[in-house]
Amino acid sequence: MGLLCWCTLYPQGPSNLAAIRFSAPVRVASIHVFPKGARPFADYEDFTSETAPECFYAELFFNATPIHISERDKNRFPNSLVPTTLAYAGSHVDYTVDMGTEHATRLMIVKGNFKRLSLAVYGDLVSDLAAPKPEPAPVSLSSIEPRPLSAALDLVNAQDASSVATKLMTLLKNPPPLHVILRSQFCLKPDDDTWDHPDYPNVYVDLAEQLEDFKFRAVIYWTRPISETASEEDISAYFSRFARSIDEAALDASKILAVEPLEDWSLEDVLYASANVVIARHLCTPDFLASLQSISSKASATRHRRSIASRIVARLQGWRIFEDALEDADGCDYFAATRFLADIGTEEISLGIWLLCMVQHQDMSERLAQRPLPATSTLPPLCLRRRRREISSDEFTAFLKAFLGTAAVVGVACWADCFANDICFERALAVLHLWQQAPGYSEIVNLILALDQTCRRIKWSMEDRTAPRRTELLAEQILTDLAFEPKAVLRDELVTTILAIQPPLSYITEDTRIAMQKLARAVDDGLQEGVEGLAQDSEHPYTLRRLSVVRVALAMVEQALEDTVRGEWDVIQALHSEKKQGLLVILGDLLKGVVQDLNAHFSVRMLPPSGGAAMLNQLFLTAEDLVAVISPLAGAYPLSSRPLYELATAMAHVIVCAGLVGSAYPTPNTGRDNIRVSARDAELGCLELLAQLCTEDARTDAGKPGAEVVLRALFESALRSEGKDPALHLAGVFQVVERLLPRAEDMSDSNGPSYWVADILPHVLRELSAFFRALDVERKIQLLERLIKLDDGLIGVGEWLLTEEPA
């Protein structure tokens, strides 16, 4: 690719048109727009960019002609204008042009509200592409390591996790303290009178006035905080009066605090209040927890009510786990502490209350400040995945600081937007978008950016279409990343934001907009639409967009199945309304498709398909999502032998592919940790489901033991590598068999070795023999030892294998 043209365009005529004519057919790859005053060529200072104004929209039209014309169409000279849009928001900007491989152009027309446009066009001459090229000499490529975050943006290795938020506040005019910003944006939203008050945000409730005109329920409607400088006497006087009014009303405190009669909105208030460490310590009592657990398991309660009760229990217990982790107590569960934070981050009010605890509560802030910096530079661990992961104290510190610092920056961004401070808001969005691309940070950032308020502000920032702005560009980039996150796109406000997108757009292409809105409409239409998305026919290899559709649909089904009372019924009803075959069969077919594409990435016969690490990561994530939904359904609805056989075969291939990733990247690496963790999670999910299908209670719909079908599938699939290295594939399946075969000493009487030896192995002897012959000597010995111990002289399967072994 080279420079095809450099010029400054001056539009002409009432339509404001300008054009570039190339002397020969070209294939344009990218266009670089230079801001006014820039010098595009270092060696030629006379060339200066003249682009004006600073921002504008422009339409580009290319006359597209086919490169290869058939004899029949040679005299027709097909010629058409292909439009695209260019949104220039200032500075140096590169625009990628995808002309494909079948078309070229000789004319580029530019139309827009600009006075001058200095640009460089890059691409290739068609004649150069057609010319034979010498075969390049082989070279060794060095490994590419991502650049670490700059120290100014590295929350994990900063002494103060809120340092980035504090620096952004310097762009505000007369900024209040950080805790005031967080309180007003997340917790205590001001009413119109408070918002328009000239002293805002330094507007507080007047305790003396409230005491003089005391009303028992007035405290419920306060929209202003109590001043931090309020005297202890005033506070004590007001709440002493409040306590006396309870006594005067002869209210039964036990009934008031009883959980059972509480309305849903009251339970939600308890959930929010539980984000405060002091309140959580008081509420975390055995009786209160037992009352909540009775609601969470009551079939007559609504799904929403059961969910809230379960979350309150988890949050109260989570505070204890979090405090232990903060102190590095013996036996503390760092991973469970990160899960506590993940739940906190799903709601604005809970997040705001927790942030104020960490910033203002002396005990909590001191504990956080006393935690030592990580011994080595590190990134936040990937703890928001489905599967448990063991993490160290340093990794917990990294996650905690990234979580707190990101939430603080989001709060400052929202405050800046409230006061129309575009500079601070733009800078905050730029920081958040950078973290969206950083390993470890991205999951945390996407979790907090999916909050309702943030989604609304992203939507508002995209509504001004008079001219492209940097804020709008960043908002579109952030929204694009959020829209393809399965858990995030289930949020109602994010769905509303995506559906509100309308052109012209600065970053989102028309194809991407259509794909984003397709996902959002599926979520908006509900579970039935999600099931329909799973049942659609798919072409191979899967595209990233098809995988996104599948993962969002799986997230909808998984969310429904979380309701242990009605979840399965709702899924079956949605499937029945679509008149589709069984859901397990559909999911199994999808997993087979994922395996087909995974195998192509590890083939020794051909080059891996396009998409690289991003596609491979999505394939493993999709495999894990599929297995997570299949697992609860497989226990309730037995499969027939053939679908079970195909399912076990597919999972064996997933495990082998995951093992190949693990052997390629055996140690943690900032650039590869994401795909390594995705592969490991998919592998563990498959191993757990295979173990589930091999229990004595697991049967096919015809009553055949599931273990028999699974072992047959493993033994036969071990001899079919589907393009992978046969030796590595066989070794990988051998490890799976080793994991599934029970150890005699670990078996109980009810599911003892006799079940496997008498009921399973005799039915797969032919497949076992072929598998055994393919193994190397070391693995043959290992398998023989396992089988002889398991057999314990019952049928002599080990001896039989030896007699079958060719001399």
528-575 pLDDT tens trace: 888 888 888 878 788 888 999 999 999 998 888 876 666 666 676 666
User: Any idea what DSSP says for residue 218?
Assistant: G
User: What pLDDT is recorded for position 164?
Assistant: 95
Token pair 């049942």 is at which residue?
535
Q: Cα–Cα distance between 234 and 212 in angstroms, integer?
A: 12
Using a pLDDT cut of 70, give the percent of the chain over it.
88
Confidence of residue 132 (pLDDT cuts 50, 70, 90): low
- Among candidates 313, 284, 283, 281, which has minimal Cα distance to 297? 313
Q: What does 653-685 look like in DSSP terms, one character per residue? A: HHHHHHHHHHHHS-S--TTTHHHHHHHHHHHHH
Could you tell me which residue, 436 or 802, shows the higher pLDDT? 436
- Among candidates 750, 745, 738, which has minimal Cα distance to 790? 745
**Is the model's pLDDT at 731 over the cut of 60?**
yes
**Where is 477: in which H helix or E strand?**
helix 470-483
User: What pLDDT is recorded for position 190?
Assistant: 80
Confidence of residue 209 (pLDDT cuts 50, 70, 90): confident
Which amino acid appears at position 450 of this protein? A
Average pLDDT score, the chain: 85
For each of the domains in the chain, give its residue range(s) and CATH number, in order of start. Answer: 2-129 (2.60.120), 453-515 (no CATH), 591-740 (no CATH)
Torsion of CA 228, 232, 233, 238, to 10 degrees: 70
**Is the model's pLDDT at 606 over the cut of 90?**
no
Provide the whole-model pTM.
0.86
Q: Cα–Cα distance between 762 and 742 in angstroms, integer?
A: 16
**Is the model's pLDDT at 709 over the cut of 90?**
yes
Indicate the pairing of strand 103-112 with strand 2-9: unpaired
**Is the model's pLDDT at 503 over the cut of 70?**
yes
pLDDT in tens, 286-341: 988 888 888 888 877 887 888 899 999 999 999 999 999 999 888 899 999 999 99
With the C-alpha atoms ordered 49, 50, 54, 59, is the resulting torsion angle positive or negative? negative
Q: Cα–Cα distance between 251 and 264 in angstroms, integer?
A: 21
Q: Cα–Cα distance between 428 and 421 in angstroms, integer?
A: 11
Confidence of residue 280 (pLDDT cuts 50, 70, 90): very high
User: What pLDDT is recorded for position 333?
Assistant: 92
User: What pLDDT is recorded for position 458?
Assistant: 94
User: What pLDDT is recorded for position 541?
Assistant: 86
Average pLDDT over residues 612-625: 91
Q: Which two tokens stand for residue 769?
A: 């023999």
Q: Cα–Cα distance between 595 and 656 in angstroms, integer?
A: 10
Token pair 């001056």 is at which residue?
10
Q: Cα–Cα distance between 241 and 229 in angstroms, integer?
A: 20
- Give the best-scoring range by mean pLDDT among 192-196, 464-468, 737-741: 737-741
Interior angle at CA 658, CA 655 and CA 662, nearest 5 = 135
Confidence of residue 730 (pLDDT cuts 50, 70, 90): very high
With the C-alpha atoms ordered 392, 664, 672, 625, is the resulting torsion angle positive or negative? negative
Which amino acid appears at position 597 of this protein? D
User: What pLDDT is recorded for position 102?
Assistant: 78
Average pLDDT over residues 726-735: 94
